[in-house]
Structure 1
Amino acid sequence: MPRIALFHHLTSPSLLRPQRLLTRIFLCVLFLTTFPMVALAGERPNVLLICVDDLKPTIGCFGDPIAVTPNIDALAKRGVRFDSAYCNQAVCSPSRNSLMTGLRPQTIGVYDLPTHFRLATAELTAQDPQRGEVLTLSQHFKNNGYLAQGLGKIYHVGHGNIDDKASWSMPSWRPKAPSYVLDASLKNIVPDAKGRKRGPATEAADVSDDTYADGQVALETIERIAKAKQTPDQPFFIATGFLKPHLPFVAPKKYWDLYDPAKLPMPEVTSPPTGAPSYAATSGGELRNYSDMRSTGPIDESTTRHLIHGYYAATSYADAQIGKVIDAIDQHGFADNTIIVLWGDHGWHLGDHGMWCKHTNYEQAARIPVIISAPGAARGATTAAMIETVDIYPTLVELAGIETAENLDGVSQAAVVQNPTEHVRDYVTHVYPRGSRLGRAIRNSRYRMVHWKEVGAKPETAEIELYDYQTDPLETQNIASKYPEVVAKMVAILDQQPEPKPQWKTPKQRAAAAEKLKRDQEKRAQNAKSRKGMFAKRDRDQDGFLTLEEFLLHQPDPDEAPKRFPKFDKNNDQKLSENEFVYP
């Protein structure tokens, strides 16, 4: 084990357990008297952070038999593969904010694409001056002597959002490449519902890798790695962001040719979970923006297969670019002193549950690929240890041996990178908003619970989802009403976290939102009063419950009313409490 890695291992806070403390103190003293500390400065490890947009674990080393991903597979052989890794919100900007700040979306108060995280974190600091300025991951490395560089997509730039200059030692670099090159694609670019120009959802052109953006990102990253040899005393932090397999599924034809469409895996479950709130699902509106995907209704089998083909082709294209970048690390002599992290910002439903894109709290959207390779750490290992995106920040800080960052939501997983049988989390958390509701999810090794309610609303207004991945790995049924004891335990864990912040808004937006909230609350109060009166009139035996027969009394639509009863009956006991009736 290299000296720097050994020192970090011995001094890792995650490993300083009481029963081992005296032994580790002795070893640290021995280490410090044997190796001068001055030697450590020249051995600071470099960091290569590889971010991949919309990449789910459809990867060979993660068990996908169809995926052609030899370069990510090779990276797994030189590091630790986290099989239980999850994002903090399944959409680009909040997920990347979590990566770079080590703070969850509900801590920052940013759940959307347009809001720049600095607006919200500045307010966070103003409210609690003792926590100080929020330093991003790369900014923290920059402050500790690293040359911090961002290439490609690291932050979400677009929808009104911008890059973060403070994060980098020099201006970040983004490619200038066409989205499409085929005439048929170019002729099919039309404005979407918001006036933005959109082409088709796929393209397979017989062109070189650097025709498209990701090939250019790889080439620029390779140049930066080569240039780093000129300043061997300054470690680098390079964050490289690849766009694919994000829509549109555009990749050179040779990557499409890697797959036989007839052998591609098709969705096993094509409808949302039974008993789940209707709003928990995603409409797939992102996909519908593309010019050849405008029609409403279910996507047919042929189109589903073609889209899946495109996703796999785009994944293999990204994999090839990742391989070029890692080869450059090896060729320029940085392999023994570079921490490499592969991270996908969130998953993608790909037709699962009849859904497309991300934008949910379900497994297909929330689970991500994470691989961490560090000098002197475990190689070719797999771990079941749970990790969430906010953990990447403190993990890299500890592995690099630099000053510990303060006030992070994440916890260091360096102990797991050293010893994959360790674990530092019993569960992960993530969120997704739906209108005024926020779905806060807890996932442990067996269950996921999603707790839906408006931020600041009373606990009794919450609607719950619970899934058992031991008995129902495909999430076909919400079992919250059947296992209240499991729900109660997971809610108690969730309650240990601070109340989520609402979406950050400007003063003008806040005033408008406050006025709307007041109107909505008044309307809800009136509705609740009215429904209580209706409940009392229907409850003929005054037992505090409505049977189906009582529920149907005085209904204006007797043919449709019976269909509503199961939706009101949240605990499936064939009767409605006043709370179920008043707050459906």
Structure 2
Amino acid sequence: MSCKNEKDKTAETLDQKPMNVLFIAVDDLRPELNFYGANHIQSPNLDKLADESLVFNRAYCNIPVCGASRASLLTGMRPTRHRFINYSTRADTDAPNAISLPKLLKQNGYTTISNGKIYHNNDDDSLAWDNRWFPKGNIRNYQLEKNIIENGSANLAMGGASAFEMADVDDSAYFDGKIAQKGIADLKMLKNKNKPFFLALGFMKPHLPFNAPKKYWDIYDRSKIELPDSYTQPESTPKQAFHNFGELRNYGNIPKKGDVPDALAKQLIHGYYACVSYVDAQIGLVLDELKRLELEEDTIVILWGDHGWNLGDHKLWCKHVTFETALRTPMVIKVPGKTKGQKTNAIVEYIDIYPSLTELIGIAAPNTVDGQSFVPILDGQQPEKDWAVSKFKDAVTLIKGDLFYTEWTKDDGVAYARMLFDHKTDPLELDNLAEKSEYQDIVKQLATELRAKWGKDFLVDSKPLK
């Protein structure tokens, strides 16, 4: 059979057979990966997936906090001042009338399975799933006795345990190893069913604490790890842009105030790298099984991190800010017959994932979805939309071209602080242009555009009354 006929056959299959979806979420994953130009983290399985996918160089979450980001992505709806706010957000509370992506697929004959962390609350949007599973045990998942004792029964409200752990254990000791094995078992089960599937795997690392088997720590030489070039907080940046990274300070070996000491900072970066390599290995096991079961040609694979993460950038740790380091995310999509390692600089938002997947599998998205399909990019077309909007608390950011413009506003929409960075000349976001006289015309234009694009119900109380 000729190459042309093989392509025609693939296209015909795409048109006629409902595609499966393998939906992989990775908690706190930065786009600090080889296929984004970095070369110091070993992630061979993600690299291989990228070589078979469309890689989005400019994908942005709509809010840099896990629960809200996931609820927004899975409903395709923008966060507002009153909807999708923080880590504990529930989609079924903030948007009870929305038909989520898994619910829509379930309604259209898909088997839907949630493993690990997909929504922040495992029982959120429960009717969307045929099966929900999460590993048993304390969510911090320590393996060393000292950390288990010091953590006690603390879960989200941590005890005195370390922010990282290097345990000489098998991969399956930690949650992500168990999540991978559950995913593999589900693929074997789904292989024999006549229904298409939406299999969601939510991996936990590299979320804090940076716990990974010792062999992944051993990959890296800490003496070669350096602090980021942006390890500073310029006076021109509004004080509202910075925070005390309380999520990290809750751990027992982190100082309660002030900068993290350099040696400890490098130890944290080391732990983050180890966790990325660990989760990469687990994802590789699942992708290998997908291939072994001969499901590759029938399955769309999309992988995304729920938001960015600061590893000392601006002397910050964690997320919860609107610097690019917290907003820009890794995202790749593998579509049989369509992707082969292409890269795009088109700006996409996480709310665009929902309508893109529904278009690819031939199901109409509901009118509650705010996102715009990026499927034309898969066909080599230039998308019409060239911007994204992200927010966190009072801060709301317009990303357009090389410009990142943020305003802090109250309920009336009037700004009380602002910042503007031009990534063409300042990719590290160290020179705030918003208060410079020569940029006032640009600021005025961006302020108008921000309000036009942040959503029709951004300022109104869009949450249902309790």
TM-score normalised by structure 2 residue count: 0.92
Which of the two has higher C-alpha Rg?
1
Tell me what 1:250 maps to: 211
Equivalent residue of 1:67, what SS?
coil
Q: 1:471 aligns with which of 425, 432, 436?
A: 425
Tell me what 2:378 maps to: 417
Is the Cα–Cα contact under 8 Å of residues 30 and 307 in structure 2 kept in the other structure? yes
CA positional deviation for 1:2: 5.3
Q: 1:498 aligns with which of 456, 459, 464?
A: 456
Q: 1:156 aligns with which of 116, 120, 135?
A: 120
Tell me what 1:140 maps to: 104
Whole-Å Cα distance in 2 between the matches of residues 456 and 152 of structure 1? 39
Whole-Å Cα distance in 2 between the matches of residues 89 and 503 of structure 1? 18
Percent of matched pairs sharing the same residue: 37
Is the Cα–Cα contact under 8 Å of residues 109 and 501 in structure 1 kept in the other structure? no
Cα offsets for 1:437-485 (capped at 9, x unmatched) = x21101122110001110224x3x4422100111111111210122112
Give, as a single letter, the amino acid of the residue that structure 1 aligns with 2:392: Y
Equivalent residue of 1:292, what SS?
coil
Tell me what 2:369 maps to: 408
Matches within 5 A, 1:13-162: 40=16, 43-106=17-80, 109-122=83-96, 133-157=97-121, 162=123
Is the Cα–Cα contact under 8 Å of residues 286 and 357 in structure 1 kept in the other structure? yes
Equivalent residue of 1:383, what SS?
strand
Whole-Å Cα distance in 1 between the matches of residues 464 and 339 of structure 2? 47
Cα offsets for 1:175-212 (capped at 9, x unmatched) = 12561111232243268899643521000111111100
Q: 1:308 aligns with which of 269, 273, 276?
A: 269
Whole-Å Cα distance in 1 between the matches of residues 362 and 463 of structure 2? 37
Is the Cα–Cα contact under 8 Å of residues 52 and 241 in structure 1 kept in the other structure? yes
Whole-Å Cα distance in 2 between the matches of residues 504 and 262 of structure 1? 50
- Deviating more after overlay: 187-196 vs 70-79: 187-196
Cα offsets for 1:253-302 (capped at 9, x unmatched) = 11111111122242212222432221221211000001111432111110
- Deviating more after overlay: 73-82 vs 285-294: 285-294
Q: 2:403 aligns with which of 432, 444, 447?
A: 447
CA positional deviation for 1:3: 5.4
Equivalent residue of 2:347, what SS?
strand
CA positional deviation for 1:235: 0.5
Matches within 5 A, 1:156-555: 156-157=120-121, 162-170=123-131, 172-177=132-137, 179-189=141-151, 196-231=158-193, 233-419=194-380, 422-433=382-393, 438-457=394-413, 459=414, 461-482=415-436, 483-496=439-452, 497-501=455-459
Greater relative contact order structure (CA < 8 Å, 6+ sep): 2
Whole-Å Cα distance in 1 between the matches of residues 303 and 235 of structure 2? 35
Cα offsets for 1:375-431 (capped at 9, x unmatched) = 121211111011111011011011111223323111001111232x63342111100
Whole-Å Cα distance in 1 between the matches of residues 166 and 113 of structure 2? 31
Give, as a single letter, the amino acid of the residue that structure 2 aligns with 1:215: G
Equivalent residue of 1:361, what SS?
coil
Equivalent residue of 1:151, what SS?
strand
Are residues 407 and 163 of structure 1, via their aligned partners in 2, closer, same or farther at CA, if it must alter by over 3 Å?
closer
Whole-Å Cα distance in 1 between the matches of residues 374 and 155 of structure 2? 44
List 4+ stretches of structure 1 deviating above 6 A.
Answer: 191-194, 502-506
Are residues 194 and 277 of structure 1, via their aligned partners in 2, closer, same or farther at CA, if it must alter by over 3 Å?
same
Give, as a single letter, the amino acid of the residue that structure 1 aligns with 2:188: A
CA positional deviation for 1:67: 0.8
Whole-Å Cα distance in 1 between the matches of residues 427 and 149 of structure 2? 43
Tell me what 1:529 maps to: none
Is the Cα–Cα contact under 8 Å of residues 347 and 386 in structure 2 kept in the other structure? yes
Are residues 494 and 473 of structure 1, via their aligned partners in 2, closer, same or farther at CA, if it must alter by over 3 Å?
same
Whole-Å Cα distance in 2 between the matches of residues 504 and 50 of structure 1? 29
Indicate the RMSD between aligned Cα atoms, in angstroms: 2.2
Whole-Å Cα distance in 1 between the matches of residues 351 and 431 of structure 2? 29
Whole-Å Cα distance in 1 between the matches of residues 460 and 264 of structure 2? 38
Is the Cα–Cα contact under 8 Å of residues 237 and 430 in structure 2 kept in the other structure? no
CA positional deviation for 1:144: 1.0
Is the Cα–Cα contact under 8 Å of residues 54 and 245 in structure 1 kept in the other structure? yes
Equivalent residue of 1:188, what SS?
helix
CA positional deviation for 1:105: 1.2
Is the Cα–Cα contact under 8 Å of residues 397 and 404 in structure 1 kept in the other structure? yes
Give, as a single letter, the amino acid of the residue that structure 2 aligns with 1:204: M
Whole-Å Cα distance in 2 between the matches of residues 489 and 57 of structure 1? 30
Are residues 505 and 429 of structure 1, via their aligned partners in 2, closer, same or farther at CA, if it must alter by over 3 Å?
closer
Are residues 198 and 425 of structure 1, via their aligned partners in 2, closer, same or farther at CA, if it must alter by over 3 Å?
farther
Is the Cα–Cα contact under 8 Å of residues 310 and 325 in structure 2 kept in the other structure? yes
Give, as a single letter, the amino acid of the residue that structure 1 aligns with 2:421: Y
Is the Cα–Cα contact under 8 Å of residues 151 and 158 in structure 2 kept in the other structure? no
Whole-Å Cα distance in 2 between the matches of residues 228 and 142 of structure 1? 14
Q: Which runs of 5+ in 1 are unaligned?
A: 9-38, 123-132, 509-584
Whole-Å Cα distance in 1 between the matches of residues 64 and 156 of structure 2? 22
Are residues 215 and 177 of structure 1, via their aligned partners in 2, closer, same or farther at CA, if it must alter by over 3 Å?
farther
Give, as a single letter, the amino acid of the residue that structure 2 aligns with 1:73: D
- Deviating more after overlay: 290-299 vs 193-202: 193-202
Give, as a single letter, the amino acid of the residue that structure 2 aligns with 1:109: R
Is the Cα–Cα contact under 8 Å of residues 103 and 128 in structure 2 kept in the other structure? yes
Is the Cα–Cα contact under 8 Å of residues 191 and 198 in structure 1 kept in the other structure? no
Equivalent residue of 1:298, what SS?
coil
CA positional deviation for 1:162: 4.2
Is the Cα–Cα contact under 8 Å of residues 69 and 316 in structure 1 kept in the other structure? yes
Whole-Å Cα distance in 2 between the matches of residues 347 and 454 of structure 1? 25
CA positional deviation for 1:240: 0.5
Is the Cα–Cα contact under 8 Å of residues 102 and 128 in structure 2 kept in the other structure? yes
CA positional deviation for 1:168: 0.7
Is the Cα–Cα contact under 8 Å of residues 385 and 424 in structure 1 kept in the other structure? no
Is the Cα–Cα contact under 8 Å of residues 55 and 368 in structure 1 kept in the other structure? yes
Is the Cα–Cα contact under 8 Å of residues 113 and 198 in structure 2 kept in the other structure? yes
Is the Cα–Cα contact under 8 Å of residues 406 and 420 in structure 2 kept in the other structure? yes
Are residues 506 and 240 of structure 1, via their aligned partners in 2, closer, same or farther at CA, if it must alter by over 3 Å?
same
Give, as a single letter, the amino acid of the residue that structure 2 aligns with 1:473: P
Is the Cα–Cα contact under 8 Å of residues 49 and 239 in structure 1 kept in the other structure? yes
Give, as a single letter, the amino acid of the residue that structure 2 aligns with 1:393: Y
Is the Cα–Cα contact under 8 Å of residues 222 and 325 in structure 1 kept in the other structure? yes
CA positional deviation for 1:364: 0.6
Tell me what 1:20 maps to: none
